[in-house]
A and B are shown apart, each in its own frame.
Chain A
Amino acid sequence: MRNPARLRGSRALALLLLAPAVLLCLLPITYALALELWFSVSSAAPGTDGGFVGLANFQFLAGLDSFWQMLFNSAAYLVSGTLLKLLFGLLMALALVRPFPGRRLLYAGLFLPFIFPVVLGTIAWYFLLTNVHGALDYLLQGAHLTQQPLDLKSRLPLLSVVAVNVWHGSALFGVLLLAGMRSVPADQLDAAVVDGAAPVRRFLHIVVPYLRPAAVLGCLLSVLGNFGDFATVELLTRGGPLGRSQIVSTFAFENALLSGALGLGAAVALVMVPVYLVALAVAFRLIRE
C-alpha cells in the first residue's frame, strides 16, 4: 500500500516523535513501579533507602485489623459506588436520549458535577453534611423534619463517601451510555423507550445488548477510579472516624507520608495491582471485540 523504502527511512522519525510520550510517561512510570516494588520489600523511610526486609511489610499488614477493615471498605466503596453510578447514569441516559426542548442545557447541567473540580465538590459536600450549622441540616430543620443535626459523616461515613462519589461520577456513565444508545437502530430504540405494553422487557431485550460496551467501559473506569480515589475520602472524612471509611490510598498516604514508613505505604499501594490486572484483562477483551 505504501512505499516500503520510505517507511524504513521514517523509523528514526517515528522514534523521535514517540520520544516525548516515552520520556514524560512510560519511563517515569516504569521507574516508579520498580522503585515501588523495592520499597515494598524494604524498610525505606524519607531520606533513606533502608534495607531489604523480605515480606515483613506484607506480614505486618496482614496482622493489622485496620488493614482488613480498609480492604473491606475499599471493596464496598467500589462495588456500591459503581452499581449506583450505573443505575443513575442509565436513568440520565434514558431521560435524555430523545430530543426535547432544553435537552442540551439539562445535559450540560447534569454533566457539571463530573467536570467540576472534585476537591471543590467534596468541600461543598463537607459543609452540606457537617454537624456544625450544616447546610443540609438547615434545610431539614427548616422543614421541621429533624431537630438534631443528622451528623451523617460520623454516623455513616462510608455511605457519605459513596454518596459524594455517586454525585460526582454518575454523569460519566450517563454520557457513555448515551453514546452507546446512538448505536441502537432508531426504530428499535423508539419502540423500546416509548410507553407501551412491556417497555421494561423490550428495553432489556433490545437496548441492553447494545449498551454493554459502554456499561463495561464505565464500570472499568469507575472501579479503577474508586480504588485509586483519594480526594473524596481525604477531604470528607479523612478515613475516619476510627478508620471506618479508610480506603487504600488514604491508608497508604497515612503510612507513607504521615508516619514516614515508605515501605509499608508502598506495600499498601501495591494491593491495587491485582485488581488492576483483572480490569486490564477485561479492558483488552473489550477493545478486541
Chain B
Amino acid sequence: MAGQTRVRSLDDPTVFVETPATIYDAIPPYPPRTEREAEFYNLGDGEMLINLGPQHPSTHGVLRVVLKIDGERIVDLDPVLGYLHRGVEKICENGDWHHAISNCDPLEYVASMFSEAMPVLACEKLLDLEVPRRAEYIRVLAWELNRIASHALFMGWIALDLGGLTPILYGFIERDEIVEMLAALTGQRLLFNYLRIGGVNGDLNHEFMSRLGDWMGHAGKRIEDSQNLLNENEIFVRRTKGLGVIDRATALGLCMSGPPLRATGIPYDVRRAHPYSVYPELEFAIPVREEGDSYARYMLHLDEIRQSIHIIDQVLHQMPDGPCMAQIPRLIRPRPGRAFIAIESPRGQYATYAMSDGTDQPFRMRIHDPSYFNLQVMAEIMPGNLIADIMAVMSSLDPIMGGIDK
C-alpha cells in the first residue's frame, strides 16, 4: 500500500484515480499477523477502508469497525474491540466474592440485574447453598422487569438508528417507569447491586409495589402503542425486512444466543433449555420467528415483552412469604471446585465459569457475554450490503459494548 492507491473517481465511477495513501489510516502500521488480517488489509482495485467508530452513535458504545468498501457496498469488515476493556475477570480474581458482584454490575449496563447475577449464582452453586424461595421469586421479578426495560430501550434504539426520533422517547418513558420502580427497590437506577450471595438485598417495599401496580395497569397498552408506532411504518419495514438474514446453521455455528438466534427459528432459551431459579414453576412461551432478518428480531423483542409481563403477573400471584436472605457467614470460602451457570439475559445466554480454590476470592471468573458472540455474525452477513444498512443490522443484534469488552 506504499505510495498511492487506486479508487473509483467521484465524478465517474467507472474511472479509477490515484489517491495519496495517507487517507488509509485504517491500515495498521505493522505487517499482518494472521492469514485473515493479510487477506482483509490487501485491497483490490476500487476497494478502500474506512473506520466506523470508535465514537459512532450507532455502535452503542465504543466499537470500531473497519469497513472494506467498494463504492457504497461493503466488501468485508473487521470489528476492533478493546476500547472499553477493564479486565473485569482479573479484577474479580483479586477481590473477594462480594466485590465481584459490584464489579460485574456494569458489564451489561442496560440490564445489570443479569450481569450482577453471575458471581452470585456461581458462588451459590459452589457453596451448594439453597436460596429462600421468596428471594428466588424476587429475583425473577427483578430480572423480568429489567428485561422489559432493556427491550423497550432496544425498540427505541433500532428506530433511532434508522432515523426515527420518536420511538426512543416512548422507549425511555417505558424504561424510566421501570427504572424508578427498581430504584425504589434497590436504591439505584442503573447499576443495582441488589442480588446477594444467598438472596437479595432487602425485601419488596411499599413504594416499589405501588409503582409496580400502576405500571402493570397500563403495561400491555404501552406495548400496543409502540407497536402501532413502528410495526407498519413503511420506512422502518423496508429498512429491516429481508436485511441481515441469518440462517439456522450460521447462527448455531457462530454460538449465537438470545433473540438473534430465536429469530432464526431455534427455540434455545436457557430458561427452558436448562432451567434455573423458579422458572420451571412459571408458565411462559418461548417466542420464535423463522425469517432471521432484522424485522424478525425486532418483532421477537415485542413478543418477549408480552411473555415477561405474563411472568411478572404469575410471580406476583405466587410470591411466597418468608425470608429473602439465607443464613450465610459473612466471610465466604467455597470449597475448591468448579461451577458453570448460565442465565437468559435480554441479549442471550449470559454464562459464567467460576473456580474456587478454597479462599475467599474467586480463583477464576470467566464471563461469557452473549453480545460478544452475537456481534461476530456481522462479518458473515454484511458483505454485499450498503454502508447505511450496517446500522440497521447492528442495532437489531442489540450489542452492549460494556459486556463485549469486559
Partners in one complex: no
